[in-house]
Amino acid sequence: MIRNATAADVPVIHAMILELAEYEKALDEARASEAQLHEALFGERPAAFAFIAQTPQGEPAGFALWFLNFSTWRGVHGIYLEDLYVRPELRGGGYGKALLTELARTCVERGYERLEWSVLNWNEPSIKFYESLGARPQDEWTVYRLTDDALAGLGARE
């Protein structure tokens, strides 16, 4: 039910990214094109990877899009889960757990020591789900982000 994404999956992954952005009340921020996604996942130097969860009928139920990070404290890579999404009508069917299990399996097989992701503070169903699997929030850290004009302005400084 979980498999590596292929180039043929780019349109459905893109569609699910837009569904996720709408769920997270940030559809206007989801600007990546299918071409950009294809390049990131299947270009000459892939920047990210994806798993697809499928229904028993072979229909896409959800996806996990991830990339490698590195821990200077552990001295090894880890996985940063950028997006985990299961279509609303299929939630509760084990697809999210299967995707996270595959990510954890990848970590274990490759000797990675961390699997990390972010969740919106208001997303209680997801928080409860993650905690049921043993994940714990990193409350002592706050995520910061530079984008758009702030990023351009800082990058333009001498």
Q: What positions carry a catalytic annotation?
A: 130
Q: Are strands 115-117 and 49-54 parallel, antiparallel or unpaired?
A: unpaired
How far is the CA of 52 from the CAs of 3, 10, 35, 73, 151, in angstroms? 5, 11, 19, 31, 32
CA 126, distance to chain mean position in Å, is 13
Whether the CB-CB separation of 17 and 23 falls below 8 Å is answered with no
Q: Which has the closest alpha carbon to 98: 66, 64, 48?
A: 64
Which residues, listed in sequence order, are joined to residue 70 by a DSSP beta bridge? 77
3-state secondary structure 52-99: EEECCCCCEEEEEEEEEEEECCCCEEEEEEEEEEECHHHCCCCHHHHH
